[in-house]
Amino acid sequence: MKSGNSALIAGASGLVGGECLKLLLASDAYTEVVVLTRRDLGAPARHRKVRQVECDFASFGDVARELRAKHVFCALGTTIRKAGSQAKFREVDFEYPNGIADITLRNGATHFSLVSALGASRASPFFYSRVKGELEHTLRAMGWPSLCFVRPSVIVGERTESRPFERLAEHALRFAPSTWRPVAARDIAAAMVATALRSPPGTTVIESRDIPRS
């Protein structure tokens, strides 16, 4: 590991993950950014700070030694519609983040930041929110020195994939109370990076209404 702060990001090809990667690369606080990805990211992976690690997310053990960084950012996520089933959704939104957290903690990471969701709770009657809550509970039990859960409402930004339901929700909630109002991906990423640099002990939960807006 190089001197200075190092970061690992999973989900850099997504909306929040992409914004997080931009911030990490632009920050003088980070000298290395490990990008965990299923396929070549292209131009961003050529940045002087980036060390790209390609793997099948179902086989993290194959690259465990390469997953070393001080701060870990997890922005993995899908929808049940895109995943095709609840089981596949759980694999992406619970098993993959859990596996990354377990490996990076054992490799010496000190801070883990997760894009969770508004209403995340193990007691939720909604499958999506329940899985997010189960993941938060599991990560807390790992004993991370510093842990951050960001729970956004609808996330807005320029997506590379079509998510018509989220577009509809974005327009419908634009003038809703702050708890439900859509939040920009760049603001979520900024909150994650700022918290990681502080690395407050224990667990920090940032609800959607409390995410600073740019």
Residues noted as catalytic: 128, 132
Task: Report the Cα–Cα distance between both ends of the chain, in Å, rounded.
Answer: 33
**Whole-angstrom distance, CA of residue 181 vs CA of residue 184:** 10
**Whole-angstrom distance, CA of residue 65 vs CA of residue 111:** 18
Q: 185-198 and 15-26 helices cross at what angle (nearest 10)?
A: 50
- DSSP class per residue in 193-212: HHHHHH--SEEEEEEGGGSP
User: Which amino acid makes up residue 114?
Assistant: L
Which of 28, 107, 46 minimizes the C-alpha distance to 72? 107
User: Which amino acid makes up residue 65?
Assistant: R
Cβ distance 48 to 64 under 8 Å? no
